[in-house]
């Protein structure tokens, strides 16, 4: 049973159901604000830079990047893991908070899921483009062929990874989409524009809100939610096996799967916080995304950052405890004190120490501070991946082959391109898709109304 007094009110302002629809749908019908165009313009310029970088990569080769025979993975894998991590937010939000029966998630999960889909798209670009011969990517499918048939290597973490990402992309996209179907129906039925009616009508798949639809819809949500919960854990665990299964010092550790999953959720939640604060300010969704929501996310971040800190320290401890000189060198001479110390300490401070500010209620309630800290966490998580990918590779077993890695403008351009793609995607989401799950918000709105007589003890409301 949910107690509103713990978390405060979920929706500010006494709103009727119709008001909820109207206010959430306002950005779709309203005149597009100028900043949107500016932001979209910037995003597209960034995207164009990315497209150009990809073009150069495709036509000339990966040699245009800074990677070399020693550090064969660079920014592209860092960015891949980073984006995949961010892409964990949506599912983690929806699923874990659903399992934990946290009703406040309803205001945020739509945005989080949208972010997930765009982020996973961004992420998927990197492994594809970092292949030497991306036009032969289909070799990775285990399909019957006329080569024997020659199958794939089921032992390879990259194959697992490929499966995991494809599955995750498909599932998170369908989860997101089917969550929107009733809302599309709402738009269809409330809009005055004929074009919108036709378009949203098409995407609503003929939804009318009948009980037989809702019944199956609930069933579908249950199934997708259930398996997606497994996925949240499995995807980043599998991504972590890209490293953990290898023999590189600093990679070869059993700590990685939980460490990566928690890290992913951490970065995802930080990105959610970034977006939500923007939504709250830019679209005046303050009534739905209340200070309480922000507060709740901050509290989760504090908790996760403690886990992150523990993971970092555990990693270092294990390196020492293992007695392996290669591990010890990687951690003590290369990460903590070596030429990559900046990235290590950036990671440690931004991820493990800075979020501790959220212990203070004052900080949690200051939207700007929260926004800035969320950005730092994103940066810190990027450093974490840099720390893992580059430092281990650059100085591993044979000192003769130690080499440095410096990114080139092509790699940086590619990353900026995905940032542009992400922000463009998010802007389109703001513009054309209900930012908040209307039907779900309506469902919880009753907890805000005066009709408390239906909340009599013994009267059970345990759906969801």
Partner 1 sequence: MITNRKYLVGVFDDEHTLKDAFQKALDKGVVIEEVYTPYPIHEILHGMKNKTNITTAAFFYGLFAVVMLIGGMYYAAVVDWPLHFGGKPFNTFPSFIVVTIVATILTITILTLFTFSARAKIFPGKKEEIIDIRATDDKFIILLDQDKMGIDKPEVTKLFQANGASEVYEKESN
Partner 2 sequence: MRNSTFLRHLMRLKTFAFLLFLSFFIVTSIPITASSAEDDTDVIAEDHSHIDIKRGERFFKGLLPKDRKFESCVSCHNLTHTDTLNWNPSAMAIAVKFAGKDFSEFQSAVMQPVGKKMEASHKDFAIEESDLKKVKLYLDELAVTGPPSAGPTINQIIIFLFLGLLMTLALLDLIFFHKIKYRYVTVIILIVAVIVQVKMVADAAISLGRSQNYAPDQPIKFSHKVHAGDNKIDCKYCHHTAEFSKSAGIPAMELCMNCHVLVREGANSGKFEIAKVVEANETKTPVEWIRLHNLPDHVFFSHAQHVGIAKVDCQKCHGDVAQMNIMKQTSDLSMGWCINCHRDTKVNFKDNAYYDNYMKLHDQLKGGGIDTIRAVNIGANDCMRCHY
Partner 3 sequence: MKTYWRSIEELANPKELRREEVREEAKQKSMLMRGDNELNAASRRDFLKTFGFGIAAASIVASCKRPVDKAIPYLVKPDEINPGTANYYASSYFEGNEYGSIIVKVRDGRPIKIEGNTLSSISQGGTSARMQASVLNLYDDARFKGPSKSGQEITWDAADAEIVAQLTTLKSQGGKVVILSSTIISPSTRDVIQKFIEKQTNTEWIQYDPVSASGILEANQKSFGSAFIPDYRFNKAKVVVSFGADFLGSWLSTVEYTKGYTSARQLQNDRKEMLRHYQFESGMTLSGSNADVRFPIKPSEEGAIVLALYIAVAKSKGGQVLSGVQSTVDISDLAKDLLENEKQSIVISGSNDVNIQLLVNGINQLLGNYGQTIGLENSLRTKQGIDQDTDRLLSDLKAGNVKALLVWNANPVYDHPKGKDFAEVIKKTSLSVSFSERPDETTALCQYVLPESNLLESWNDLEPKAGIYSLSQPVIAPIFNSRQVQVTLLKWIGADNNYRDYIKTFWKETQFPKQKNTTDFRQFWNTSLQNGVFETVLESKLVYSPEGLSQAANQVKPVVAGLEVALYESVAIGNGKFANNPWLQELPDPVAKISWDNFAAVPVAYAAENALKNEDVILVNGIELPVFVQPGQAKDTISVALGYGREIAGKVGDQTGTNLYPFVGIDSGTRHYFLTSAKVEKVAGKLFQLAISQTHYSMEGRPIVRETTLDEYIKNPVSGNEIKAEHEEKSVSLYEAPVYNGHHWGMAVDLNSCTGCGNCAVACQAENNIQVIGKEQVRNRRIMHWIRIDRYYSENPENPKVSFQPVMCQHCGNAPCENVCPVAATPHSEEGLNQMAYNRCVGTKYCVNNCPYKVRRFNWFQYVKNDKFDFASNSDLGRMVLNPDVTVRSRGVVEKCSMCVQRIQEKKQLAKLEGRAIAEGEIKTACSQSCPGNAIVFGDLENPESRISKLFKDKRNYHLLEELHTLPSVGYLTKVRNTKA
Which residues sit at the interface with partner 3, rule CB under 8 A?
60-63, 66-70, 72-73, 127, 130-134, 136-137, 139-140, 150-153, 155-159, 162, 242, 245-248, 325-326, 329, 393, 395-404
Residue 145 binding: pick among partner 3, partner 2, partner 1, none (C-beta 5-8 Å cut-off by kind): partner 2
Instruction: Write down the residue that tokens 């998170």 correspond to.
Output: 172
Query: In the chain, how long is the greatest CA-to-CA distance?
Result: 77
Residue 30 binding: pick among partner 2, partner 3, partner 1, none (C-beta 5-8 Å cut-off by kind): none
> Where does this chain touch partner 1 (CB under 8 A) — which range of 224-232, 262-270, 283-291, 362-370?
224-232
CB of 323 to partner 3, least distance (A): 11
Query: String of b and e for 26-50 (b: at least 16 CB within 10 Å)?
Result: ebbeeeeeeebeebbeebbebbebb
Q: Whose Cβ is closer to partner 1: residue 27's or residue 407's?
A: 27
* Count of residues interacting with partner 1 (CB under 8 A): 71
Please say whether the beta carbons of 122 and 418 come within 8 A. Answer: yes
> Where does this chain touch partner 2 (CB under 8 A) — which range of 57-65, 74-82, 143-151, 360-368?
143-151
Positions in 41-70 near partner 2 (CB under 8 A): none
Please say whether the beta carbons of 112 and 90 come within 8 A. Answer: yes
| Phi and psi angles of residue 339, each rounded to the nearest 5 degrees, phi first | -70, -15
Positions in 112-141 near partner 2 (CB under 8 A): 133, 135-136
CA distances from 183 to 179, 211, 232, 350, 358 (A): 8, 16, 25, 38, 34
Q: Whose Cβ is closer to partner 1: residue 157's or residue 346's?
A: 157
CB of 350 to partner 1, least distance (A): 31
CB of 205 to partner 2, least distance (A): 11
Three-state DSSP class for residue 415 = helix
458 binds partner 2 per the rule CB under 8 A:
no
Separation of alpha carbons 106 and 437, rounded Å: 6
Separation of alpha carbons 354 and 358, rounded Å: 8
| Per-position x/- string for 147-166, each x denoting binding to partner 2 as judged by CB under 8 A, each - no binding | xxxx----------------
Q: Whose Cβ is closer to partner 1: residue 178's or residue 376's?
A: 178
Residue 146 binding: pick among partner 3, partner 2, partner 1, none (C-beta 5-8 Å cut-off by kind): partner 2
Positions in 53-92 near partner 1 (CB under 8 A): none
Separation of alpha carbons 196 and 29, rounded Å: 9
Residue 63 binding: pick among partner 2, partner 1, partner 3, none (C-beta 5-8 Å cut-off by kind): partner 3
Length reported for the chain: 464
H runs (alpha helix) in 30-108: 34-60, 75-86, 88-91, 97-99
101 binds partner 1 per the rule CB under 8 A:
no
Cα angle, residue 219 at apex, residues 217 and 221 outer, rounded to 5°: 70
> How far does CA 444 lie from the centroid of its chain?
25
CB of 385 to partner 1, least distance (A): 21
Residue 378 binding: pick among partner 1, partner 3, partner 2, none (C-beta 5-8 Å cut-off by kind): none
202 binds partner 2 per the rule CB under 8 A:
yes
CB of 452 to partner 1, least distance (A): 11
Which phi-psi region, left, alpha or beta, contains residue 366 (left: φ > 0; alpha: ψ -120 to 50)? beta
Residues at the interface with partner 2 (CB under 8 A): 133, 135-136, 145-150, 202
């Amino acid at each position: 049973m949910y107690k509103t007094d713990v978390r405060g009110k979920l929706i500010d302002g006494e709103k009727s159901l119709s008001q909820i629809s109207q206010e959430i749908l306002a950005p779709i019908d309203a005149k597009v604000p100028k900043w949107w165009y500016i932001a979209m313009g910037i995003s597209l310029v960034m995207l164009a830079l990315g497209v150009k970088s990809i073009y150069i990569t495709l036509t000339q080769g990966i040699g245009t990047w800074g990677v070399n025979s020693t550090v064969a993975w660079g920014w592209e894998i860092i960015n891949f893991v980073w984006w995949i991590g961010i892409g964990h937010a949506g599912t983690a939000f929806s699923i874990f908070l659903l399992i934990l029966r946290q009703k406040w998630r309803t205001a945020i999960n739509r945005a989080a899921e949208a972010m997930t889909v765009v982020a996973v798209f961004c992420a998927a670009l990197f492994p594809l483009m970092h292949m030497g011969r991306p036009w032969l990517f289909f070799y990775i499918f285990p399909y019957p062929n006329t080569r024997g048939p020659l199958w794939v290597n089921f032992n390879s973490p990259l194959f697992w990874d490929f499966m995991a990402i494809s599955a995750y992309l498909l599932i998170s996209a369908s989860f997101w989409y089917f969550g929107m179907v009733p809302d599309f129906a709402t738009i269809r039925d409330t809009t005055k524009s004929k074009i919108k009616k036709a378009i949203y009508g098409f995407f609503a798949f003929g939804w009318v809100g009948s009980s037989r639809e809702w019944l199956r819809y609930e069933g579908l949500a249950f199934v997708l939610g259930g398996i997606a919960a497994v996925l949240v854990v499995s995807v980043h665990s599998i991504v972590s096996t890209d490293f953990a299964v290898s023999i590189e010092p600093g990679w070869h550790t059993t700590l990685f799967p939980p460490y990566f999953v928690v890290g992913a959720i951490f970065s995802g939640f930080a990105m959610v916080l970034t977006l939500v604060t923007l939504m709250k300010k830019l679209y005046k969704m303050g009534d739905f995304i209340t200070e309480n929501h922000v507060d709740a996310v901050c509290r989760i971040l504090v908790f996760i950052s403690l886990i992150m800190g523990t993971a970092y320290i555990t990693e270092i401890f294990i390196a020492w405890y293992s007695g392996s000189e290669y591990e010890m060198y990687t951690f003590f001479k290369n990460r903590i004190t070596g030429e990559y110390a900046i990235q290590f300490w950036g990671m440690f401070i931004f991820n493990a120490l800075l979020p501790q500010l959220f212990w203070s209620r004052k900080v949690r309630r200051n939207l700007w501070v929260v926004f800035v800290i969320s950005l730092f966490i994103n940066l810190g998580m990027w450093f974490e991946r840099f720390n893992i990918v580059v430092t281990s590779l650059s100085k591993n077993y044979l000192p003769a082959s130690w080499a440095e890695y410096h990114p080139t403008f092509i790699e940086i351009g590619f990353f900026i391109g995905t940032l542009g793609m992400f922000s463009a995607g998010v802007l389109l989401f703001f513009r054309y898709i209900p930012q908040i799950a209307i039907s779900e918000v309506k469902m919880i709105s009753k907890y805000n109304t005066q009709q408390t007589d239906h909340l009599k003890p013994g009267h059970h409301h345990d759906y969801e």
